[in-house]
Amino acid sequence: MSSEHAGDFDVIVSGAGPAGLAAAALCAEQGLKTAIITGPADPFEKRHDARTIALMRPSIRLLEHLELFAPLKKVSNPLVKLRLVDDTGGLFSAPTATFDARDAGWEAFGWNIPLEDLHPALAKKARELGVEFIRDSALGVAPERKRLARLRLASGKELAAPVIIAADGRRSPIRESARMITFKHDYDQVALGCFFNHSAHHDDMSTEYHKPQGPFTTVPMHGGHRSSLVWMVRPEKARAILKMDADELARHIQIESHGDLGAISNPTPPQSFPMQTMVAHDFAKDRIILVGEAAHAVPPIGAQGLNMSLRDAALAAELIGDAFAFGEDIGGEKIMHDYDRIRRRDIFPRKMAIHLVNSALLSNFLPYQAVRAGAITLAAKVPVIRDIIMRQGLAPSNEHVPRIMREEEQADAAA
Ligand SMILES: Cc1cc2nc3c(=O)[nH]c(=O)nc-3n(C[C@H](O)[C@H](O)[C@H](O)COP(=O)(O)OP(=O)(O)OC[C@H]3O[C@@H](n4cnc5c(N)ncnc54)[C@H](O)[C@@H]3O)c2cc1C
Q: Is 137 in the pocket of ligand 1 (CB under 6 A)?
A: yes
Mean pLDDT lowest among 314-328, 360-374, 397-411: 360-374
Q: What's residue 285's pLDDT?
A: 97
96-100, 304-308, 339-343: the lowest-pLDDT one = 96-100
- Ligand 1 pocket, residue 161 CB under 6 Å: no
Q: State the average pLDDT over residues 268-294.
A: 96
Residue located nearest, by CA, to atom 38 of ligand 1: 168
Top pLDDT among 149 and 389 is at: 149
Distance CA 351, CA 299 (A): 9
**d(C-alpha 168, C-alpha 12), whole Å:** 12
- Specify the pLDDT at position 21: 98
Apex 70 CA angle, 75 and 123, nearest 5: 80
CA angle centred on 161, ends 317 and 156, rounded to 5°: 125
- The whole-number average pLDDT for the span 402-415 is 65
With a 6 A CB cut-off, is 388 part of the ligand 1 pocket? no
226 CA to centre of ligand 1 in angstroms: 23
Task: Give 136-186 pLDDT, tens digit per residue.
Answer: 999 999 999 999 999 999 999 999 999 999 999 999 999 999 999 999 988
* Residue of 275 and 317 predicted with greater confidence: 317
- Is the pLDDT at 78 greater than 90? The verdict is yes
Delineate the domains of the chain, giving CATH numbers in brackets.
3-76+113-184+277-363+401-414 (3.50.50.60)
Residues with Cβ within 8 Å of 224's Cβ and at least 6 positions away in sequence, in order, are 201, 202
pLDDT grade, residue 350 (50/70/90)?
A: confident
Q: Is the per-residue pLDDT at 80 higher than 80?
A: yes
Determine the Cα–Cα distance for residues 280 and 340; give it in Å rounded to an integer: 10
DSSP 147-176: S-EEEEETTS-EEEESEEEE-S-TT-HHHH
pLDDT of 59 > 80? The answer is yes
pLDDT averaged over the chain? 90
Average of per-residue pLDDT across 23-52? 96
Using pLDDT thresholds of 50, 70 and 90, give the confidence band for residue 104.
Answer: confident
Rounded distance between C-alpha atoms, residue 153 and residue 204, angstroms: 45
Q: Tell me the average pLDDT across 259-285.
A: 95
Specify the range with the lowest mean pLDDT, choosing from 152-156, 208-212, 238-242: 208-212
Cβ–ligand 1 contact at 13 (below 6 Å): no
Ligand 1 atom closest to Cα of residue 308:
11
- Report pLDDT for 409: 44
- Sign of the four-CA dihedral 152, 168, 352, 270: negative
**DSSP H helical segments within 218-265, as ranges?**
235-243, 246-256
CA distance 250 to 266: 7
Band of residue 407 on the pLDDT scale cut at 50, 70, 90: confident
Distance 11 CA to ligand 1 centre (A): 21
Residue pair 218/366 in contact by the 8 Å Cβ criterion: no
Q: How far apart are the first and last CA of the chain?
A: 32
Residue 212: the pLDDT is 87
